[in-house]
Amino acid sequence: MKFNSTAIILSGGKSKRMGVNKSLLKLDGKTIIEHTVELMKSLFCNVILITNRPKEYEFLNIPMFEDIYKEKGPLAGIHSGLLHSTTDNNFVISCDTPLMNSATVKFIANFNTQHPITLCKADGHIQQLVGTYSKLLLPIIETIYENGERHSVYSLLDKVESKIIEIEKMDFYKSDTFLNMNTMNDYYHIKKLRQLH
């Protein structure tokens, strides 16, 4: 049974430290973005991609939308995803977390809370680009941009009461699940780790 909500995949970064589009690097014969899309399609009824380079991703054959607020960071990607989503409940995931797994996604998506945002704390950080975001957040995000405030996800978290899960305490949790890939060294490291996950 799939979640009757929308998976919003973010692929808006410029991959400056990588030097190439990291989402198009391959793991096990498929691009990283393909792995993410397949995982989301297996769990959610709706899957959309937020990118400012849609031509690069036409091969995925899923709905794609660009940022409304250009060059304004991942919060702009979340905003566009929520704007174009047709469901109130949404699962946001960045394209550069190739060790993410279905058990973790299901746990977050199933978490029983009334909070408009549900995120996990892992590796000493709040993992802001893997979690649930309500469509009700749209006017709050738009206010952040229109008022010229610092346009980071943390600005949103400061304004909204969020549920932060200590996921590392869960039996199913695997270290490095939230590891995001920013450099070629990360890529090689992840290729090794995927053999273990």
The domains located in the chain, with CATH, are: 3-194 (3.90.550.10)
Helices (H), 44-116: 74-84, 102-110
Residues linked to residue 67 through DSSP beta bridges, in sequence order? none
Give the pairing of strands 44-50 and 3-10. parallel
Which ranges of the chain have pLDDT less than 50?
none
pLDDT of residue 183: 87
Residues linked to residue 9 through DSSP beta bridges, in sequence order? 49, 93
CA distances from residue 172 to 51, 99, 105, 120, 169 in whole angstroms, order as listed: 31, 14, 11, 14, 9
pLDDT of residue 197: 56
- At residue 177, φ and ψ (nearest 5 deg) are -55, -40
What is the spatial distance between Cα 120 and Cα 69, in angstroms, rounded to a whole number?
A: 26
pLDDT of residue 17: 60
pLDDT of residue 189: 87
Nearest residue to 81 via CA among 137, 39, 38, 27: 137
What is the spatial distance between Cα 43 and Cα 39, in angstroms, rounded to a whole number?
A: 7
pLDDT of residue 98: 92
Longest dimension (CA), the chain: 46
- pLDDT tens profile 55-74: 999 999 999 999 999 989 99
